[in-house]
Amino acid sequence: MGRYVARRLLQMIPVVIGTTFLIYLLVWALPGDPFAGKCGDRPCPDAYVAAMTAKFNLNDPLPVQYLKYFGNLLQGDFGESFTGVRVIDELTRAFPVTIRLALLALAIEIGIGMVAGVVAALRKGGFADTLVLVSTLFVISIPVFVIGNALQFILGVNLRLFPVTVSPEARLGELILPAFVLASVSLAYVARLMRANLVENLRADYVRTAAAKGMPRRRVVGVHTVRNSLIPVVTFLGADLGVLLGGSVVVEAIFNIAGVGGLIFSSIQRVDGTVVTGAVTVLVLLFLFINLMVDLLYAALDPRVRYG
């Protein structure tokens, strides 16, 4: 196991270098004046432009700019935004909010999606199965921003069951509705994936053998069948957690959440490449770490999986 983890960590090095370079290239190679609008309606003074150009190494070739940025990154220095605020301070403020939102959304996916999938599989062809299939198809076909605005209006404005917007403190109770909106589409996929795998495993030979030996159906389903059906679901959830961390821009905008999505969106509007590069780089690192954890979970779910 230790050798496998070490090998995976070594494999992450070229991935981190390649992805950060692509992110830096896409952000800083775009045409246009990075200082446009930074001084209001008037053009920025030449002295300001010269100082900022030197500070952000904009006169250097792009590969040289990236090497300097990556060298600072290895020392934990994400640089400063065009407004003079350290990027690490911006990320430290925004990431805890988005992480809480993403983990709560993941818990909703697991709690509702997996239960719905299990119930649908055990009642295949019945009313519960049809209800799950139809409702999940309905959710998948609707864009997230439509679901968010509709639930915000119905549950927040009309029924007043949840706050319409989230305060800067982003309390857990305020994040329930945004987390449900963020998890809605993925929840539908989890339910369908769990149902499909469980239906397939219920027809497996080992299930019939266990039933023939007199093992209680609850144990056959709960211990053996559901556990074997979890591997593809865990794969999806691991990848989806990375998507939840980086794809919450729309939900954070709807509910006025001061998280990473809002930070990236506002930085793109301000053409503040340093903040965008730093935020996306951290998301890449988190995504790689999450994928490693998912791979290690395979051995816990399936005894046949061994990492040497």
Residue 102 in any domain: the answer is yes
Residue 5 in any domain: the answer is no
Instruction: State which H helix or E strand residue 8 sits in.
Output: helix 2-28
Q: Mean of the pLDDT values across residues 258-277?
A: 83
Residue 259 in any domain: the answer is yes
Q: Mean of the pLDDT values across residues 101-107?
A: 92
Residue 120 backbone class (left: φ over 0; alpha: ψ -120 to 50; beta: rest): alpha
Q: Mean of the pLDDT values across residues 25-41?
A: 73
Give CA–CA dist 80/91, Å, rounded: 11
Residue 38 in any domain: the answer is no
Residue 13 in any domain: the answer is no
Band the pLDDT of 135: cuts 50, 70, 90. Answer: very high
Instruction: Report the 10 Å Cβ neighbour count for 233.
Output: 24
Residue 118 in any domain: the answer is yes
Residue 98 sits in a domain whose CATH number is: 1.10.3720.10
pLDDT above 70 for 303:
no
If one compares 128 and 292, the residue with the highest pLDDT of the two is 128
What are φ and ψ of residue 134, in 5° steps? -70, -45
Residue 65 in any domain: the answer is no
pLDDT above 90 for 107:
yes
**Tally of structural domains, the chain:** 1
- Angle among Cα 84, 90, 92 to the nearest 5 degrees reads 140
Above pLDDT 90, what percent of the chain? 25
pLDDT above 60 for 308:
no
- pTM here is 0.82
Containing domain of residue 290, as a range?
A: 87-301
Residue 23 in any domain: the answer is no
Q: Which whole-number Å values give the CA distances from 218 to 122, 207, 210, 215, 296, in the listed order?
A: 11, 12, 11, 8, 27
List the single range of 108-112, 268-272, 285-289 with lowest mean pLDDT: 268-272
Write out the DSSP string of 128-171. HHHHHHHHHHHHHTS-HHHHHHHHIIIIIIIS-SS-SS--TT--
